[in-house]
Amino acid sequence: MTPLPFQPAPSLAQLSGARVCIWGIGSHGGGMAAAALCALHGAQVHLLDQHPEPHRSVVAQQGWLLDQGHVDHPWLRQMDWVIVSPAITPRTLSQLPHDHAPLSAAEGWCLANHQHPRIMVTGTKGKSSTAAILGALLGWPVMGNSWTPMAAAWPGSAQLPWICELSSFQLAQLARQAPSFSCAILTSLDRDHLDWHGDLEQYHASKLNGLRWAQHLAVPSQLQHLLPQERLLPLVQLKEQHFVDQHGSILAQRSDLPLLGSHHASNACLALSVALHHGLDPTQCAARLRQTAQLPHRLQVIHRDARYTIIDDSTATTPLASRAALASIDGPVALILGGHDKGGDFSELWRDLRARQHRMVLLIGDCAEALALSCIQAKIPFQRCVNLHTAVTNGLAWIASAPDSGTLLLAPACASFGSFQDFADRGRQFAQAVQASLQDMDMSPESP
């Protein structure tokens, strides 16, 4: 793995009086949070984005500078520090002038100055849910990636232990800094983000390299051969619908975990293993598991009646994630697929669909045509839909004609780029389309 040209972040005190450029504001709040953290510590804040207009009024209220631009903007040479959005790709970084300012990650500044225990959670699929389960078990704040940005969490949690969800992008940015963690969880390792990393080898290297920074590891048994055996924690297992520790003692029942899907049970095994290592009383496991919150857009049942079950799994942005969602559902299923292709391998998803007696695939987004050709080759019935609303309408109509009650599942196996602001926006628009379609059918949405 070739490290990106990032510098390890120093003390936050060095931000005082420094000129800092936040390169890439983003849609999840990370850029604005980084700007606020820098301003809090006395930096002169500049924000650079290719599409700055939505942020102009907020930035002006803060007294920061904002400009439109990209890799050739003079600020990237003139600043004391540039804090780079994870969305900026390695290919773009390679186009910077040789005399660019020092590059850093917002997470790097936070981790360099945090002096308390912390746990990393990463993986191709299941990061957010595993972090949520672990947060419920330990009572620690969860931050990073799809959670509150570390920079936003810093003011209220700098003196607390952390659970840090980190993406492969963030791990790549932190490679030279190599921040330490007491434990790390790798939930899964598959194929993803090849549009950012360039190839599968670089993607996997980013994940596995990050695990080197942790003293102890919780990793599914099928991936343990990739890692030093002496750092592996004994795993909690699910046996006969009970979570049991290495000695066979029952910690909790599967029903104590209020999340749909066998993959969530596997994630809970990893989280329980780490929580026990960090001192969780085994007698508290069941009660703590029951406190796990259902995260939005992650196998979230948004409607259920005698005929239809409708599930939002908008965060399923890889074929692996879509397969896990599909495996959680019995009976006829209409599956909405498509969006921005990240280089995923759909062959096993097609195999799973072929094994189901009643299924329909509804294709949307940029890669709909390519997926249609793949469906034809795999002999999977499909419909091409002009937008998400049409996919919802057609999916409900197909379920109405099925021999039994069925499920409409949004598990796109693709990113939301281009058609939606982000996965949450895609999930919200899905829910709106469901509500409109049910009203057209003279049915009022029921609570899950």
* C-alpha distance from residue 365 to each of 336, 340, 398 (Å): 10, 7, 20
Mind listing the pLDDT tens digit for each residue in 321-375?
A: 999 999 999 999 999 999 998 888 999 999 999 999 999 999 999 999 999 999 9
For range 385-406, the mean pLDDT:
96
For range 197-221, the mean pLDDT:
97
The answer to whether the beta carbons of residues 266 and 334 sit under 8 Å apart is no
**CATH for 109-289?**
3.40.1190.10
Q: Is the pLDDT of residue 445 over 60?
A: no
DSSP 3-state of 63: coil
Single-letter amino acid code for the residue at 221: S
For range 14-37, the mean pLDDT:
95
The answer to whether the beta carbons of residues 407 and 309 sit under 8 Å apart is yes
Q: Do 12-104 and 109-289 have matching folds?
A: no
Structural fold of domain 300-440: Protein-Tyrosine Phosphatase; Chain A (3.90.190)
The neighbouring-strand residues paired with 65 are 46
For range 163-175, the mean pLDDT:
98
Mind listing the pLDDT tens digit for each residue in 93-115?
A: 999 999 999 999 999 999 999 99
Cα–Cα distance, 359 to 398 (Å, whole number): 9
For 231-317, where are the alpha helices, taking DSSP H only? Answer: 262-277, 285-289
At residue 244, φ and ψ (nearest 5 deg) are: -125, 145
Average pLDDT over the chain, rounded to an integer: 96
Matching residue, tokens 């796109």: 412
Residue 328's Cβ-side half-sphere holds a number of Cα atoms within 13 Å equal to 28
Q: How much is the CA Rg of the chain, to the nearest whole Å?
A: 23
Q: Is the pLDDT of residue 60 over 70?
A: yes
Mind listing the pLDDT tens digit for each residue in 246-302?
A: 999 999 999 999 999 999 999 999 999 999 999 999 999 999 999 999 999 999 999
Cα–Cα distance, 157 to 166 (Å, whole number): 17
Q: What's the gap between Cα 176 and its chain centre?
A: 23
Q: Is 344 left (phi over 0), alpha (psi -120 to 50) or beta?
A: beta
Q: Is the pLDDT of residue 165 over 80?
A: yes
Residue ranges covered by each domain of the chain: 12-104, 109-289, 300-440
DSSP 3: P
At 429, list the tokens.
Answer: 């628009």
The neighbouring-strand residues paired with 312 are 300, 410
For 309-448, where are the alpha helices, taking DSSP H only? Answer: 319-327, 347-354, 368-378, 388-401, 423-440
Cα–Cα distance, 37 to 156 (Å, whole number): 12
At 76, list the tokens.
Answer: 């990237």
**CATH for 12-104?**
3.40.50.720
pTM for the whole structure: 0.91
